[in-house]
Chain A
């Protein structure tokens, strides 16, 4: 039955890290996760429906994975976050999220339905996927914008000196507390380098980041954690 458990929610936290420390973060994650990193190059197209298509404004994100030889498309819909006193106590954001693989006609289909392009961005970085209490994915990427429509080859970073770190884990309504706990405990391991928080809450950089990065780099990655 576990295989069939539908995970229609996700726990997510975001953080930032200075570009100069990204390599150190990679070393740290490599040690923590125990898996190989996967390169990431994703063209994210955000579509919003027109005002007269339905009563509720809806937004859909199309992700095209450009790293593979054959670009693969995914559609993702992000819903509202959990609210309430219980949600405030959890240190991660829990929200509905539905994702599915689609064919390359998805963009055309949504246009035909009446959705319009709202914005697009290109993420370039790496990610780690592993299981530690929950299936966790850590993504470290620089977020790039395109000055010309769909010109992914000419994308420039939105913030050159800072990259975005996201930790997500799929969850369902039954197990989201455990997943949230797993994610937040994992985030504590990253505390020397960065602080992670719910999307929308800013954290700043961590003062120990430079020292932690220096120590991670100087050991040549040989430090086991």
Chain B
């Protein structure tokens, strides 16, 4: 209360004022008011503790009494407070609104004297001069001081950098990239991200996609036998023609080596075979490196492979003879021939047709052929049974024709494949027949040739291949012939990676042919020889 905040000075107040003040009375009244208020608060407390609802009527009545009393006291004091001044020691938020501005901003006396003395110090010597000069001089002093401060800061910053203390303010002082640099970096970043994620900018144009330089170590042996990157046929089961790429020759070379391997196997097995000569020719090419299509060696490779004796007479009559051969073979098959000669004859024919077909083609074409063979072989593969389906795509070449076709037996499951293969207009594909058929009932089918096949396909090779993969077991008689034929087929296919190694398995292979389904046609073919 203001009345109570009035400080009693040490000196005595005017008597009159004192009387008017009637401090004693004020004190009494204040004390009684205080007691009343505390009583009310206690009541509230009790209510709160006992959690009863207070009687608001009573409380309001008490409050109004207290209020009135306070008002009266304050009123009385106000009347008497005219001669008194508030002399606040501290101006703070509570007081500032009440006190007038001057009073609130006036410095305390001590502060005031301090201020005055400083001002005198500053203006010493200048007090005589006009004000403008004084101002100028003061400004000059300010500038000097500002300069000194900046210098000091600079020195501090340099020292900090030198000792790598780090800046006080952090990133605000760190250099930001200017726009040009940022744009360059952004561009580089986009290049890099695109290259890594999508391969932008990394694709070589088609003409550069040849393996010209020597291959690095890790790729050296990967590529010895085969191809370059694009050379593989895009052929699907439809046996679309392979594009004629120079790299395709590599694969042919590979097949050569494979052929050679199998050829040598044949050599070993069928001593009486008139194919010896043929085999010999295979061996001639064994040493040839795997060159490109256009190299003379590669093109002659295939030319050389058919034996000269067999090649000439039969080349001209290939197609008709083929059919005859096929029929002959069929008959033989039907009889379940186990005689070597028949098989050999079949072999011979097959081989001839295969080789001649190959031989007539130019190098590149040959390669494509072989590639396609390989490709198709894998296409129809039924992985579970492990039999590989062979289909040698007809060479799409303009010469179109005498590719030896290795057909596989159409099993029930593979009719679809066969039908799919039919759709290609150019190819006279013998359908890739899954070799997974191993059940006995198929045997009769086998022997009758390819009931599922087109009649056109009565190619020597077809006969051979028909039964080739029914190794699945359970084709005892037929298997023999098949196997031999398969062998031949395989030789022309060459795309099997494991052919060479398969040859080694001949001894064991034969026995298992009829037992399990695990026989790769590769194996089976070569095993044939053993049985003979």
Q: Do A and B come from one complex?
A: yes
Q: Please indicate the chain A residues that have their CB under 8 angstroms from the CB of B238 in the complex.
A: 52
Q: Which residues of B contact A16 (CB under 8 A)?
A: 188-189, 192-193
Residues of A in contact with B (beta carbons under 8 Å apart): 14, 16, 18, 43, 46, 50-53, 64, 66, 71, 104-105, 107-108, 111-121, 143, 145, 147-154, 158-159, 161-162, 164, 199-200, 202-205, 207-208, 210-211, 214-215, 218
B215 touching A150, Cβ below 8 Å? yes
Closest partner residue, chain A, to B211 (CB atom) = A149
Given A105-B497, A200-B193, A204-B185, A148 and B208 touching (CB < 8 A)?
Answer: yes
By a CB distance below 8 angstroms, the chain A residues around B231 are 111
New A-B pairs, 10, CB < 8 Å, besides A112-B375, A158-B201: A14-B193, A50-B234, A52-B240, A107-B222, A108-B497, A112-B374, A116-B230, A148-B212, A150-B216, A202-B193
Nearest-Cβ distance from residue A119 to partner chain B, whole angstroms: 4
A152 to B190, alpha carbons, bound, how many Å? 23
Asked if B523 is an interface residue, CB under 8 A from chain A, the answer is no
Q: CB < 8 Å: which of B175, B230, B375, B378 contacts A210?
A: B175
A162 proximity list for chain B (CB < 8 A): 185, 188-189, 192
Residues A121 and B195 in contact, CB atoms below 8 Å apart: yes
By a CB distance below 8 angstroms, the chain B residues around A43 are 216, 218
| Chain B residue contacts of A119, Cβ below 8 A | 199, 202-204
Provided the pairs A51-B234, A114-B233 are in contact, do residues A143 and B190 lie with their beta carbons within 8 angstroms?
no
B229 touches A114 (CB 8 A): no
CA distance A64 to B220 in the complex (A): 13
B residues in contact (CB < 8 Å) with A: 164, 166, 171, 174-177, 182, 185-186, 188-193, 195-197, 199, 201-204, 208-213, 215-219, 221-223, 225-236, 238, 240, 374-375, 378, 495, 497
27 inter-chain pairs at a CB distance below 8 angstroms, sorted by A residue, are A14-B193, A18-B185, A50-B236, A108-B222, A111-B231, A111-B232, A112-B232, A112-B378, A116-B229, A117-B209, A119-B204, A143-B195, A149-B229, A150-B215, A150-B219, A158-B201, A159-B189, A161-B185, A161-B188, A200-B197, A202-B190, A204-B186, A205-B177, A205-B185, A205-B189, A207-B171, A208-B174
Chain B's nearest CB lies how many Å from the CB of A89?
22
Q: Chain B CB within 10 Å — which of A105, A147, A150, A159 has the most? A: A150
A105 CA to B219 CA, complexed, in Å: 10
CB atoms of A164 and B219 under 8 A apart: no
Q: How far is the CA of A71 from the CA of B215 in the complex (A)?
A: 14
B208 touches A159 (CB 8 A): no
Q: Is the interface of B mostly helix, strand, loop or mixed?
A: loop
Q: Would you give the shortest CB distance from A149 to chain B, in whole angstroms?
A: 6
CA distance A124 to B361 in the complex (A): 46
Q: Is the CB of A153 within 8 A of B216?
A: yes
Find chain A residues with CB under 8 A from B219 CB.
Answer: 64, 107, 150
Residues of A within 8 A of B193 (CB): 14, 16, 164, 199-200, 202
Known contacts being A149-B228, A162-B189, A202-B193, is A121 close to B202, with CB within 8 Å? yes
Smallest Cβ distance from A126 to chain B, in angstroms? Answer: 16
